[in-house]
Structure 1
Amino acid sequence: MAVVADPSTPTFVVIGAGLAGAKAAEALRAEGFDGRLVLLGSEPHRPYERPPLSKGYLLGRSDRSAVFVHPAEWYEEHRVELRLDVAAVGIDRGDHEVTTGHGDRLRYDKLLLATGASPRRLAVPGSDLGGVRCLRSLDDCDDLRAELGDAAEVVVVGAGWIGLETAAAARALGAEVTVLEQAELPLLRVLGSRMAEVFADLHREHGVTLRCGVAVSAIEPAAADPMRVGAVRLTDGTVIDADTVVVGIGVSPNDGLARSCGLNCDNGILVDRHLVTSDDDILAAGDVANAYHPLLRRQLRVEHWATALHQPVVAAKTMLGAAATYDRLPYFFSDQYELGMEYTGHVDPGDGDVQVVVRGDLPAREFIAFWVRDGRVLAAMNVNVWEAGDPIRELIRSGERVDTLRLGDPDIPLEHATAVP
């Protein structure tokens, strides 16, 4: 069924009604786009932000209404055709049309793909039992909140950011928590062993049973209810009782729609510094976009809130013909118990030539950690130290060599760390 629309009216379509899609619609209107603007979302909820799902909203400290990007009336007021519970199932690049699961065909002049990512599933027997949860959507969070309210024993599979934040929330709600991780330490791939120990110690101090270097072989049903989880079995034969299992083993980019229409994809949709795909009339932003970063000089796909917040502004300007470039440094944050942190930049801590310089009080968890290679700061993590973001970004962006002794001295301003004594 074709949707009747004035073909002379410029039409922009955004697929994906998450934070990135909503911010793209907002930016297009702010930048002066006056044409038809359609925002397609496969979920039944209007666009919302994901960080509260593993933080304040999961803990019951913030109201449900606080998770939404805009008030419900915003979309009508800004003439955004918000279509919820509608999946895009095809893109005809030749005819510039999007086909929806309802059979509609939407003509577009420019198309933005903000299709996000989906959680990886645990491929073991019993992973479909009741009480086995992931935490990605608002519905996931609502379901998990109900589980945590009754659960005595929670097992979290995966000690990444989502897994650890969920573990912290579950402990705050009074559950007994076991975290299972295949690597030797939580967050090892992201932070390296020295900083990973900070988070391992943090969770142990709060009563979490942290088991590293283990793998799950099966999720077993409860004796009283064979449709619900009762335990988790490890490959070494250990059995851990569980009322609820939360699986947090990463996400995969939702690039199937892009692949099906022939766009170049590799760990997401490949885009240039302007967020344009291999088709000049199609762009991508957010978790699904593997974008070329001009400062880091590499393709980079960043699965964090800040990217979904800021990339759409560049995408909107590009769609309107401006010479916009996305060159913000990667950034993410986390709150766990009394620890708050921000991470800026990008580095593989496993590289043998990367040095970690700590500034501040590491045992008290009030410090900044810098990852340095060849005298240049590549990334930094400030833990319970605030108002350091601007000088950290400047150090990274400048590419200037630092004196590591001065960098690690909290009595020397960061802007003077580049001076060689």
Structure 2
Amino acid sequence: MLSQIQTESTVIVGAGQAASEAAVSLRQKGYGGRLLMLGDEAHLPYQRPPLSKTYLSGEAEPQGLYLKPATAYEKLGIEIRTGVRVTRLDARVRRITLSDGTVEPYDKLILATGGRPRPLLQAAIMDGEKHPSNLHYLRTIDDVDHIRRQLSPNFRLVVIGGGYVGLEVAAVASRLRVRVTVLEALPRVLARVTAPELSEFYEKVHREAGVEIRTSTQIERLELDPSGDAVKAIVCADGTVLPTDLVIVGIGLIPNVELAEQAGLALENGIAVDESGRTSDPNIFAIGDCSSRPSALYKRRIRLESVPNALEQARAVATVLCGQPCPPESAPWFWSDQYELKLQMVGLSHGYDMLVLRGDPSSRSFIAFYLKDRRIIAADAVNSPAAFMFAKRVVGRQPLIENHEALADVTVPLQTLFADQNS
């Protein structure tokens, strides 16, 4: 196998964290063939999580987001072409065509195409056809650069979407003395990912910081100013009119599957792959936000949008391409920084039938355990790093909990509740 991979060519479509990790891991595991990474942005691979946090606030500079300098990739023999888009994937003859007309053959292909922000249905709600200059999505460095130029003290900002990104943006903006209103269509913020108790906690935190939270709010239309170049107000379905200077939309992500669809690969809420990351074409793999894979832990196919997941999948594909066994599945984990609060989550809480709170939310340091059939399937920790690290070790085993009262009692060490499962 090693002799084969010294001569073959692997092309990675995408230049985000998953792509970078896959390329570096291949080299670390002894892959000696050609490695080519293709990105449609002008930047080298960079971290996205800080975009809605320290980069938006101005505390981080672009160079600080880059995963590695160009010289590091050069030293590893990894070719990177930025500012180029793949326009065609011909799986039958194993080659791709780029936006500049270049054709690149491959032996193995890794799709790390990520996703793009889910757009507002502008044709239905906006009284104009031109994209307003003060309406933004947040996905790239360039997106945030545009937002930062318009984010001024006392400006009126409307954030559409009460998920992680929307609330992180609201937290940063309120600290910059911007007047923030968050609009969420569902009855509570973070409704898709947390229990009502966590939603209530975060709504309270934001309101105490001066952020206006409006839930169960549908948008009727966007009103433009006389120039037709900017949104001047948002009209809600209940008739409320919200004047605004700036609008940021964070209502989810659409996986970029167009190349895979063009090549006839199987799709299912993303590019469908098996446990090793392999698509329906044995020479093509997919990793990160664009891919969905079967989970033995949660007994369904899932697509996860998280950096730890992307990195784990990248390393797994590199392992498989180098002829080694695919590493076992681990419980997914995520994080979100808002104000002085660090929210750390492990596992997927969908379908839980009991929530056990350990600690007092009013202290702003606690952990919530999600149980299903008396087994822990997920946990959300707020400013509780030690409890989170313990949960991270055990959630993947979904331990059985016989004593819910002890789990909630902060005087009872977590390690004693299921000592045989925390090694």
Q: TM-score range by the shorter chain?
A: over 0.9
What is the aligned-residue identity percentage?
A: 37
5+ residue gaps, structure 1, are: 1-6
Is the Cα–Cα contact under 8 Å of residues 183 and 212 in structure 1 kept in the other structure? Answer: yes
Task: Tell me which residue corresponds to 2:400.
Answer: 401
Q: Is the 8 A contact 2:380 2:388 kept in 1?
A: no
User: Which residues in structure 2 correspond to 1:94-243 (within 5 Å)?
Assistant: 94-123=92-121, 124-126=125-127, 128-149=131-152, 152-223=155-226, 225-243=227-245
- Between Structure 1 and Structure 2, how many residues are aligned? 410
Aligned to 1:276: 278
Residue 369 of structure 1 is matched in structure 2 by 368
Counterpart CA distance in 2 for 1:384 and 1:149 is 30
Partner amino acid, structure 2, of 1:173: L
Deviations 1:356-403 (A, max 9, x none): 100012211210000011110000011011123332123322233112
Could you give the per-residue CA deviations for residues 190-226 of structure 1, whole angstroms, max 9, x where no partner exists?
Answer: 1121211011111111001111111112111224x43
- How far apart are the structure 1 equivalents of 2:152 and 2:68? 29
Q: Deviations over 1:256-313 (max 9, x none)?
A: 1101101111110111111111111111111011012232232111111211222111
- 1:303 aligned to which of 287, 302, 305: 305
Which stretches of structure 1, 4 residues or more, deviate above 6 A after TM superposition? none
SS in 1 for 2:68: coil
Pair 139,326 (structure 1): closer, same or farther in 2 beyond 3 Å = farther
In structure 2, what is the equivalent of residue 356 of structure 1?
Answer: 355
**Separation in structure 1 between the aligned mates of residue 275 and residue 32 of structure 2, nearest angstrom:** 25
RMSD of equivalent CA atoms: 1.8
**2:26 counterpart SS class:** helix
Q: Deviations 1:141-174 (Å, cap 9, x if unpaired)?
A: 1111111136610000000000000011110111
Q: AA paired with 1:377? A: I
Aligned partner (choices 266, 269, 275) of residue 267 of structure 1: 269
In 1, are the aligned partners of 2:153 and 2:177 still within 8 Å (CA)? Answer: no
8 Å CA contact 1:185–1:196 kept in 2: the answer is yes
Q: What letter matches 2:67 in structure 1?
A: V
How far, CA to CA, are the matches of 1:12 and 1:160 in structure 2?
A: 36
Residue range with higher mean Cα deviation, 133-142 or 405-414: 405-414
Match of 1:412 in 2: 412
| Residues in 1 aligned to 2:398 and 2:333: alpha-carbon distance in whole angstroms | 17
Deviates more, 1:238-247 or 1:74-83: 74-83
Label 1:151 to 1:135 Cα distance change in 2 as closer, same or farther (>3 A). Answer: farther
Unaligned runs of 5+ residues in structure 2 are none
1:220-269 residue CA offsets vs partner (Å, 9 max, x unmatched): 1224x431121111112211011100000001100111011011111101
Distance 1:401 1:131, change over 3 A: same
Question: Aligned match of 1:318 in 299, 317, 320?
Answer: 320
Q: 2:250 aligns with which of 248, 251, 261?
A: 248
TM (norm. structure 2) is 0.93
Identify which range, 258-267 or 409-418, moves more after superposition. Answer: 409-418
Aligned to 1:339: 341
Aligned to 2:305, the other structure's residue is in SS state coil
1:385 equivalenced with 2:384 (yes/no): yes
